[in-house]
Amino acid sequence: MREEIRQPGALTRVLARSPTSAAFLTVASAFCVYFCMYAFRKPFAAASWSEDQIGDITLKSALIIGQLLGYTAAKFISIKVCSELTRRQRAPFLTGLIILAELALLLLALGPTLAKVLAMLVNGLALGSVWGVVTRYLEGRRTSELLLAGLSCSFIIASGIVKDVGRWLMDSHGVSEDWMPFATGMIFLLPFLGFLWLLDQVPAPTAEDEADRNQRTPMKGKGRHRFLVEFLPGMVLLLVGYLLLTVYRDYRDNFGVEIFAGLGYAEEPAIFSRSELWVGLGVLAALALLSVVRDHRRGLICSFGLMVTGTVMMGISTPLLDAGRISGLQWMIAVGLGAYLAYVPFGSLLFERVMAATRFPGTAVFTICLADAVGYTGSVAMLAGKDYFAGEVEPLEFFRQLTFWTSIGATVFLILGGFYFLRRTRGLGDEIPR
């Protein structure tokens, strides 16, 4: 079922005549929209939230779990909503989500302890669908790999920068921990809305895009069910691997302050920006190289190769740290680069290639949202279980152990999942127009 055709605006008509300019505006506006979204999601993690407890769980862990519960619930909702959302509905939907997220941060500032946890639950519920909606603007194009690579780097870089903005507000302007997340969000609200307007002006995929990538239409329940039945074994393997990577990535992101403190960088200014900038540039360069691979099956091979390279990099970095061959900052950059090389393709290039290679009708956003739903469910379970069963283990030591086991487990599942989808797409390449 083709989406309804809307009357293009003046900027859209200009961009339709200049594919290069359209691609540049698309990737730049998508990057900035998702970058700004992180100002509503991650600054609270830059605060220590003292030593307050809710039962056996620290307040910071409770806030993280609250946000993750909402974020995870939104991912399950996104499986349906983002798959079925039409082009006309995207921008209003995103605007409503970001305003709800900022109102939740106001409740975080004003409310008592339990209300703060509820505020973060609502905040996560509002923000969990943003990735899927933004991705709908980028998929199904011949340049999708490059566009999605640019988008994917936004959250790697943004997470560090918005936390540094939060620390700057507290250290240089006396903003309290309670009000810092709301204040950070207000700084980025107007830029978010401006870049969203630009993103909504990008032209729809052309007939040539659809011939190469298959037409990306809203995916109803029957189509989603048919996809899972068709590719269930491979999807299970990939989803388990993604669950491990999401748990790891989320712990590193949420407890970066404590991990860096354990490594001796507690007083280093802009330490998050310094580490994540190198990670983001490395991932962008690697993903940009994948965009030059036109054959979709070969693109799958390269994607799985890149992801396994990332998980192996995680495994060999810790012994180098223990042997004194690399510094703590270099280790955080290395494990971050390895983790994101494996993690990022799930939310962008991997399922885009799967849909193109299998020629399955529908949208890659369905599989992306499904993977996120499973991954964040694991992250919630890990955070809750960590405080109960390993509450005495220091964040740095817990992270070192998590690095080892994630490297082994994710490598195994990615290799098995890769073999499955490569076998399923064998012989299809000649049928796909270039």
Q: Count CB-CB contacts under 10 A for residue 55.
A: 8
Neighbours of 341 (CB within 10 A): 23
Rounded CA gap, 419 and 125, in Å? Answer: 35
Q: How far apart are the first and last CA of the chain?
A: 24
What b/e sequence results for 15-50 when a residue is b if at least 16 CB atoms lie within 10 Å of its CB, and e otherwise?
Answer: beeebeebbebbbebbbbbbbbbbbbbbbbbbbebe
Q: What is the pLDDT of residue 427?
A: 56
The residue count for the chain: 434
Q: Distance between CA atoms of 4 and 85, rounded to whole angstroms? A: 11
- Taking the C-alpha atoms of residue 317 and residue 321, their distance in angstroms, rounded to an integer, is 6
Give the pLDDT of the chain (434 residues) as one tens digit per residue: 445 555 677 888 888 888 888 889 999 999 999 999 999 999 998 888 876 777 767 888 889 889 989 998 998 898 888 878 888 999 999 999 999 999 999 999 999 989 999 999 999 999 999 998 998 898 878 777 778 878 888 888 888 899 889 999 999 999 999 999 999 999 999 999 999 999 999 988 877 776 666 666 667 778 888 888 889 999 999 999 999 999 999 899 888 888 988 998 877 767 877 888 888 889 888 888 877 787 878 888 999 999 999 999 999 999 999 899 999 999 999 999 999 999 988 876 788 788 777 777 777 778 888 888 899 888 888 877 776 777 678 889 999 999 999 999 999 999 999 999 988 887 554 444 33
Structure tokens at 27: 């990737």
User: What are the chain's domains?
Assistant: 23-431 (1.20.1250.20)
Instruction: Give the closest residue to 90 by CA, choosing from 207, 6, 214, 174.
Output: 6
Q: How buried is residue 176: exposed, middle or buried, by Cβ count under 10 Å (0-12/13-18/19+)?
A: exposed
Which two three-digit tokens encode residue 90?
């995207």
CA–CA separation, 157 and 279 (whole Å): 8
Specify the residue for token string 């007083």. 267
**Backbone dihedral region of 362: left (phi > 0), alpha (psi from -120 to 50 degrees) or beta?**
left
Cα–Cα dist 114/39, whole Å: 23
Which residues are CB-contacts of 301 (< 8 A; sequence separation ≥ 6)?
Answer: 418, 422
Do 407 and 312 meet the contact criterion of CB atoms below 8 Å apart? yes
Rounded Cα distance, 272 and 48, in Å:
15
Q: 3-state DSSP: the chain helix, strand, coil percent, rounded to 5?
A: 80, 0, 20
Q: How many CB atoms lie within 10 A of CB 245?
A: 28
Q: What pLDDT shows up at residue 379? A: 86
Query: Would you call 56 helix, strand, or coil by DSSP?
Result: coil
pLDDT score for 429? 46
Tokens 């798959």, residue? 83
